[in-house]
Structure 1
Amino acid sequence: MQQRIGNVRWGIAGLLGIGIVINYLDRINISVATKPFEHEFHLTQTEMGIILSAYLWSYVLLQVPVGTLLDRFGVKWLVRIGTFVWALASYMTAIVSGLGLVILSRILLGAAEAPIFPGAAKATGYWFPTKERGLATSAFDAAAKFSNVIGIPLIAVAVTLWGWRSAFYLTGTLSLLYCALFWIGYRDPSKSKRLAPEERTYIVEGGSQQ
C-alpha cells in the first residue's frame, strides 16, 4: 500500500532533517573552534562564556513568538528567511574582528535558527497522518544528534587544516545551499504539485493538520 500511495511526505521529512543537521552544525562550530578563537581575540574565559551563551539569548527568547508566527504565516517563508539569515550570521562570524561583533553575530544566529525545529514540527503536522507522526518527529531528533556525530570531526578537520574561520565559511556555505534546496523543495501539502491524490487523501484522512 505504501508504494501505491506514494512517499512524497518522507522526502519532505528528509528535506527537513537535512536542515536540522546543518542547523546544529552552525551551533557547534564555535565550540570546536574555541581554542584558536580565544587565542586570536585574546579572550578571557568569561568573555568566551558570553560568546557561547549569546546564541541562546535570542534563540530562547524567540521560541514562543516564532510559534505564533508559524501559526500565522506557515512554514515555508519563515524557514526560508531564517535559513538565509543564519547563513549570513555564520559568514559574519568568520569576518568580524571584535568581541562586540562576535556576540552580535551569535545573537543573530540564534534568532535566525529559532524557527527550524518548531517549523519542522509544524510541517510534520501538515505532512503526516497521526500514526506516522511519532516516527517522523523522532527522525528530526535523531538528525540533531547525528549532526554532532559528523559535525565535530568535520569542523575539527577544517579548523586544523585551514584555521577557525574556515569552520564558519563552511557552515555558512552549507546553509546557503540548504536555503536554495528548501526554497525549491518545500511546499505545504495543499500547494504541492508532486503529491499524488492518493497520498494526499492518505495524509488528510489520517488526521493531518490543515
Structure 2
Amino acid sequence: MSQQSSRYRWVVVVIFFFFMLLHQTDKLMIGSMQVPISETFGMNNQQWGWVNSGALIVATLLYPIWGYLYDRYARAKLLALASLIWGATTWLNGIVRTFPAFLATRASTGIDDSSYPGLYTLVADYFGPSLRGKIYGILQLAQPLGYLLGMILALMIAPMIGGWRSIFYITGSLGLIVAALIFFFVKDMPRGKAEPEFEGMAEMQTFRFSWAEVREIFKKKTMWFIFLQGFAGVFPWNVITYFFFAYLEKERGYDANGILFTMA
C-alpha cells in the first residue's frame, strides 16, 4: 500500500470517528433534556416513553433493511445519506411546536440509527486483520465520549444559548456537515479487499437476498445467546438513558453539576 493510500484511510477513520461521536451525542442527549422538553410540550412520563420508544421501534424495523442496502449498494453513499437524515430530522425536532409533531419527528430520528453495520463493514475493507481490532477500538471510544459530550451540551451549554432547541440545531447542523464530508471524501472499497485470503479475486458484482441463508443464521445457538444478552441489557440501559436524569433532578433535587458528575 502506498503512503498516500495509507494516509487516506486514516482520514476516513477520523471522519467516521466524528460521525459516531456526534451521532451518539445527538442520539443520547435527549435523556438529559427530559425536564425542559417535557415542560415545553406538557408531557407526562408515559408520553415521554412514547417519544423515545418511537425512535427505537423505527430503528428496529429498519435494521434489516439497512443491512440489505449495505450489502447491495455503495456503503459510503448510504452512510452519507444516513448522516443527512440524522441532521435533517434533528433540525425538525427543534422546529416543531406541538407534541404530536415532536413525537413524529423524534421517531424519524430512528431512521438513521441502523447505519453502523455499513460503517463497520467498510472499515473492514480499509484495514486488514492485523489492524482491524485497533480501529474498531478507536471508533468504539466515540460512543462513551459522545454520551459525555451530549450531557455537557444538554446540562451546561443549553441553558446558556437559549434552551434545548438550540442544541438540536447545533447537532443537526453538524450531522449535515458530516454527511457532506462522507459524501465527498469517503470512497467505497471493493468488498473483501483487505482480506489476505481474497487477494486477487474479483469482487462479486451481484447480490441476491436469500431467506434460506437467513434461516441458517437463526439456527445458530450462539446467535440466540447474543440476542438474549443484548435484550436483557437494553432495559436498565434505557431507563438510565431516558428517565434517570429527570429522576435525579425532580426527585433527588440534583442541580446540573450534580447530575453531570453522577452520570459521567
Give the TM-score band, short-chain normalised.
Answer: 0.7 to 0.9
TM score, norm. by length of structure 2 = 0.69
Preserved contact between residue 86 and residue 109 of structure 2 (Cα < 8 Å)? yes
Aligned to 2:35: 35
> Is the 1:129–1:207 contact (alpha carbons within 8 Å) kept by the matching residues of 2?
no
Q: Deviations over 1:18-61 (max 9, x none)?
A: 10111111112321211111111111110011112221111122
Report the secondary structure of 1:7's partner residue.
Answer: helix
* Letter matched to residue 16 of structure 1: F
* Structure 2 match to 1:124: 123
Where do 1:185-204 residues align within 5 Å? 185-189=185-189, 203=194
CA change 1:5–1:42 in 2 (3 A) is: closer
- TM-score normalised by length of structure 1: 0.85
Structure 2 counterpart of 1:126, one-letter code: D
Name the amino acid aligned to 2:84.
F
Partner Cα distance (1:5, 1:173) in 2: 30
Distance 2:134 2:39 in 1: 44
Deviations 1:37-91 (A, max 9, x none): 1111111110011112221111122112211110000312211111111111001
Unaligned runs of 5+ in 2: 204-264
Pairs within 5 Å for 1:70-85: 70-85=70-85
Answer whether contact 1:158 1:166 (CA < 8 A) is retained: no
The equivalent residue for 1:135 is: 134
Q: Distance between the aligned counterparts of 1:94 and 1:107, measured in 2?
A: 13
Q: Which has the larger radius of gyration?
A: 2
Instruction: Look up the match of 1:91.
Output: 91
Q: Is the 8 A contact 1:130 1:206 kept in 2?
A: no
| In 1: Cα distance, 2:173 partner to 2:4 partner | 38
Distance in 2 (CA, whole Å) between partners of 1:30 and 1:18 is 19
CA contact (8 A) 2:77 2:182 kept: no
Name the counterpart of 1:171. 171
Matched, 1:51 2:43: no
* In structure 1, distance between residues paired with 2:7 and 2:197: 15
Q: AA paired with 1:120?
A: L
Question: How far did 1:112 drift?
Answer: 2.2
CA contact (8 A) 2:12 2:186 kept: yes
Stretches of structure 1 that go unaligned for 5 or more consecutive residues are 191-200
Return the alpha-carbon distance in structure 1 between the equivalents of residues 150 and 47 of structure 2.
24
Partner of 2:152: 153
Greater relative CO (CA pairs within 8 A, separation 6+): 1
Deviations along 1:105-155, one digit per CA (max 9) or x if unpaired, are: 12211112321x112111112111112111111222111111112221123
Identity percentage over the alignment? 22
Contact 1:93 1:106 in 2 (8 A): yes
- Do the aligned residues in 1 keep the contact of 2:26 with 2:150 (CA within 8 Å)? no
The match for 1:63 is 63
